């Protein structure tokens, strides 16, 4: 059903009624109803007998000191024309949608006006930021890291904080805690143990193979032997070259 200007359709009463912020006047000559705006700000309704006093405030507003002559947006709302709009969940009070006056939580959020989640927390649509996974410095969700603790030798890979190149994840047998421990210097990457290499440093003349203990390791490539300093040097050196120790 279409209503004329100033009216809105009430689906419950199935009638056209004055929209929010307007009052109705029945014209004596035509017996028709016309709508006129309330004069007090943020009125939901008012009466023709006193247009300067609201009979109810709009959603998100409340009487100032109990006086319906002055409605104001409640904490958690900000004024947009003749209505009150809810602040973002990060704001306890706000001036506009993006500028908080006070934050909804001071433990997990930075100070106003940004009120963003602190490192180690992420936005989850509530006043209190949710905590990231322990290995994340910052994150976008409980399972997706956006930055890692580089001082703990971790690097970001596909949203996860994994051990950086040259380190492997070690488990403390006493308390079960995990850390990134360094691989053997000959390995560019390793797993489970520092000497269980996955890749080797070609610049050190090492390749992946099986050592004398029948373990996977970075051994000297063909034509090179390991000297007393555990360097791979050319075998049968006859002079001072870059490969001889």
26 pLDDT band, cuts 50/70/90, is: confident
* Residue (of 8, 14, 34, 10) closest to 23 by Cα position: 34
Q: Which residue has the higher pLDDT, 217 or 89?
A: 89
Which two three-digit tokens encode residue 149?
Answer: 């603790």
d(CA 235, CA 221): 11
For residue 109, the 8-state DSSP code is B
* 230: in domain: no
> What angle (nearest 5°) sits at the alpha carbon of residue 61, between those of residues 58 and 64?
120
d(CA 225, CA 217): 14
* 26: in domain: yes
Under 8 Å CB-to-CB from 71, ≥6 apart: which residues?
40, 41, 42, 43, 54, 57, 58, 61, 62, 63, 64
pLDDT tens, position by position, 96-109: 877 899 999 999 99
**The whole model's pTM is what?**
0.68
| Entry field: residues in the chain | 245
Which two three-digit tokens encode residue 173?
Answer: 């047998």
* 131: in domain: no
Phi, psi (rounded to 5 degrees) for 204: -95, 10
Which two three-digit tokens encode residue 151?
Answer: 């001082």
pLDDT tens, position by position, 156-173: 999 999 999 999 999 998
Q: Which residue has the higher pLDDT, 6 or 202?
A: 202
Phi, psi (rounded to 5 degrees) for 220: -65, 140
* 109: in domain: no
Which range is least confidently modeled, 21-30, 71-80, 138-147, 151-160?
21-30
* 93: in domain: no
d(CA 245, CA 237): 9
Q: How far is CA 145 from the centre of its chain?
A: 10
Which range is least confidently modeled, 24-38, 77-91, 150-164, 216-230?
24-38
* 159: in domain: no
* 59: in domain: yes
Q: Is the model's pLDDT at 242 over the cut of 70?
A: no
**pLDDT score recorded for residue 245:** 47
Domain that holds residue 6: 1-71
27 pLDDT band, cuts 50/70/90, is: confident
H or E, element range at 182: strand 178-182
E runs forming strands in 58-135: 61-64, 67-73, 77-80, 83-86, 91-96, 99-103, 121-122, 130-131
* 22: in domain: yes
What percentage of the chain's residues is helix, strand, coil (to nearest 5)?
A: 0, 50, 50
Domain harbouring 13, CATH code: 2.10.220
d(CA 63, CA 71): 4
Question: What total number of domains does the chain contain?
Answer: 1
Q: Which residue has the higher pLDDT, 27 or 105?
A: 105
């Amino acid at each position: 059903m279409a209503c004329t200007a100033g009216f809105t359709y009430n689906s419950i009463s199935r009638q056209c009624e004055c929209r929010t912020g307007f009052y109705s006047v029945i014209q004596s000559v035509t017996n028709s109803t016309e709508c006129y705006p309330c004069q007090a700000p943020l009125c939901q309704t008012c009466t023709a007998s006193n247009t300067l006093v609201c009979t109810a405030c709009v959603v998100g507003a409340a009487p100032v000191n109990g006086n319906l002559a002055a409605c104001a947006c409640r904490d958690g709302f900000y004024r947009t024309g003749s209505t009150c709009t809810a602040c973002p969940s990060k704001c306890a009070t706000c001036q506009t949608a993006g500028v908080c006056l006070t934050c909804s939580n001071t433990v997990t959020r930075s100070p106003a006006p940004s009120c963003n989640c602190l490192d180690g927390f992420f936005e989850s649509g509530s006043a209190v930021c949710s905590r990231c996974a322990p290995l994340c410095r910052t994150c976008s969700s409980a399972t997706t890291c956006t930055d890692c603790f580089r001082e703990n030798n971790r690097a970001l890979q596909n949203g996860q904080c994994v051990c950086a190149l040259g380190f492997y994840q070690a488990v403390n047998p006493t308390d079960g805690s995990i850390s990134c421990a360094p691989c053997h210097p000959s390995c560019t990457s390793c797993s489970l143990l520092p000497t269980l290499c996955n890749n080797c440093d070609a610049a050190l003349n090492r390749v992946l193979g099986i050592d004398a203990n029948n373990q996977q390791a970075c051994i000297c490539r063909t034509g090179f032997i390991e000297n007393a300093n555990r360097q791979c040097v050319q075998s049968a050196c006859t002079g001072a070259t870059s490969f001889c120790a």
